[in-house]
Amino acid sequence: MDKLNYSDDLAANIPSQTATISSARFTVETVLSLRYWTPNLLSCRTSRDPNFRFTPGHYARLGLQSKKDNVIWRPFSVVSSKVDGYLEFIATLIPNGEFSDPLSNIREGDTIQVDKASYGFMTIDGFAPGKDLWLLATGTGLGPFLSILRDAITWNAFENIVLVHSVRYAVELAYRDEIQAIIQDHLLETLPARLRYIPVVTREFLPDMSPARIPQLIEDGRLEIAANLKFDLKRSRIMVCGNPEIIRELRGLFTARGFQTNRRAAPGQLAFENYWLNKP
């Protein structure tokens, strides 16, 4: 991600002649760059059609040609900001995954199909007004939170923002430098909110970091201590994104404390994005 850009001038950020082909449902975009965090975790930046609009927290549907000559479509959260002239995604490569297979062979200059619409409900406008925004991510669930963090609306809506990212191994803590840069960015000095970044590594012992999972850190109070902030029904607005099992656990944990999931007709304090279905 490039430097924070709070300008609303999307048109000025998109180079001309980006999308090569446009059908009724999708545009064909070009892969501009790839960044491998590990052999199974990559970020992919593509061109962006000037008409592709999204709210931070939304996902796009991406299509890649499979070996069987059909196009495989999968949802991917947008990592880049709503005003960047490109789209960025972060993806885990799943062994033998139908979409992961063609994705693992992708190169700069290749094409990728992008559905013209963006989707999702995990956006800050779904919440009842609050003071503290908690962004709890596992793995690639970090992605939409980066887009949310790169939107000035977020910084004006909250006093405190806490970003918690749980990964198996420290090398999977993607975008660490960018997150530190957001914290240090002088632009934010003029905005009201403060960001705390709490990385969680579960399968490796690191100094000053316990290998506990997020629900355990919440239950025993360690997350609140690390964030120097309490979970509070009036103040806290909580987003959880990634592994469906943590979503199930945290939905139970927070609803037992009186928090309610956002509904279209009734804004609440919780929003979730499940990245796959639990196996029965």
Ligand X SMILES: NC(=O)c1ccc[n+]([C@@H]2O[C@H](COP(=O)([O-])OP(=O)(O)OC[C@H]3O[C@@H](n4cnc5c(N)ncnc54)[C@H](OP(=O)(O)O)[C@@H]3O)[C@@H](O)[C@H]2O)c1
Interatomic CA distance for residues 216 and 124, integer angstroms = 25
Interatomic CA distance for residues 209 and 198, integer angstroms = 10
Closest distance of CB 104 from ligand FAD, Å: 9
Token digits of residue 247: 């979503």
Residues in 47-86 at the binding interface with ligand X, rule: CB under 6 A: none
Query: Of all residues in this chain, which one has the CB nearest to ligand FAD in the complex?
Result: 97
3-state DSSP assignment of residue 71 = strand
59, interface contact from ligand X, ligand FAD, none, CB < 5-8 Å by kind:
ligand FAD
Residue 227, amino acid: A
Closest distance of CB 155 from ligand FAD, Å: 23
Closest distance of CB 89 from ligand FAD, Å: 6
Q: x/- site string to ligand X, residues 177 to 206, per CB under 6 A?
A: -------------------------xx---
Interatomic CA distance for residues 38 and 171, integer angstroms = 7
99, interface contact from ligand FAD, ligand X, none, CB < 5-8 Å by kind:
ligand FAD
Give me the sign of the Cα torsion angle 134, 140, 144, 149.
Answer: positive
Interatomic CA distance for residues 198 and 202, integer angstroms = 13
Residues in 208-237 at the binding interface with ligand X, rule: CB under 6 A: 213-215
3-state DSSP assignment of residue 147 = helix
Interface positions with ligand X (CB under 6 A): 40, 92, 94-95, 138-139, 166-168, 202-203, 213-215, 242-243, 245-246, 249
